[in-house]
Amino acid sequence: MAFPRPFPFAFAALALAGCVSAPKTSAPPPPPPAKLTPPPVTVQPRPSNWEDWRATPGDWAYRKDARGSVALFGPPGANALFVIRCDQAAGRIYLSRGGSFPVGQSGQMSIRTSSTARTLSAGNSSESPPYVAAELVGSDRLLDAMVYSRGKFLVSVRGADDLIVPTWAEFARVVEDCRAGG
């Protein structure tokens, strides 16, 4: 018995290898997603009537001190944006808002309520942080207009953002304290 030659076996093995399918290649990675550009941010203009504006965010806090009583309005944990103070000995009320005029200059503070609009002379206070303050006698009717304004009043000082201040009880309490003398 004669052994077959190895050549035909090698040829047969190669022929069978040719029948095996080529390894599958992975599909090409998908293209990156198209970048979506967000729509442009449009700032809605404020309504023309200030009474339609949202109130400035913040809360009121009331306290008594050696000079009388004071109510502060602003975001919790930050400096007050607006302050009403009763100096009982002088019978005066001070309306103050954060900010200052240039050194040596004074200006005006405008107050608008649902029934009244008035501009007051104002100057820099000696407080730190700085405030612009206007002074009124305790019986001034502007204070009543502020207390009874439809939920809020507007405070404007040139060079600063307008404040829309809610008319909460703390504000009215300072007015009452000053008028009652205690």
118-127 pLDDT per residue, tens: 999 999 988 8
Question: CA 71, CA 63: separation in Å to the nearest integer?
Answer: 6
**CATH number of the structural domain spanning residue 156:** 2.60.40
- Domain of 109 in residue numbering reads as 54-180
Strand partners, 98: 131
Per-residue pLDDT of the chain (182 residues; tens, 9 = 90+): 555 555 555 555 555 555 555 556 666 776 666 666 666 666 666 678 888 889 999 999 999 999 999 999 999 999 999 999 999 999 999 999 999 998 888 999 999 999 999 999 999 988 888 999 999 999 999 999 999 999 999 999 988 899 999 999 999 999 999 998 75
Q: How many domains does the chain have?
A: 1
> How far from chain centre, in Å, is Cα 62?
22
138 belongs to a structural domain: yes
In a domain, 61, yes or no: yes
Q: How far is CA 137 from CA 13, 95, 141, 175, 179, in A?
A: 112, 11, 9, 10, 9
In a domain, 137, yes or no: yes
Q: What are the backbone dihedrals phi and psi of residue 3, each rounded to the nearest 5 degrees, phi first? A: -85, 140
Q: How many angstroms separate the first and last alpha carbons of the chain? A: 132
Give a yes or no: residue 15 inside a domain.
no
Instruction: Give a yes or no: residue 76 inside a domain.
Output: yes
Q: What is the pLDDT of residues 156-180, one digit of tens each?
A: 998 889 999 999 999 999 999 999 8
Question: Has residue 158 been placed in a domain?
Answer: yes
In a domain, 114, yes or no: yes
- Residue 43 counted as domain residue: no
Contact 81, 73 (CB under 8 A): yes
Strands of 20-170 (E only): list them.
59-65, 68-74, 82-87, 92-98, 107-112, 117-124, 131-137, 152-157, 163-166
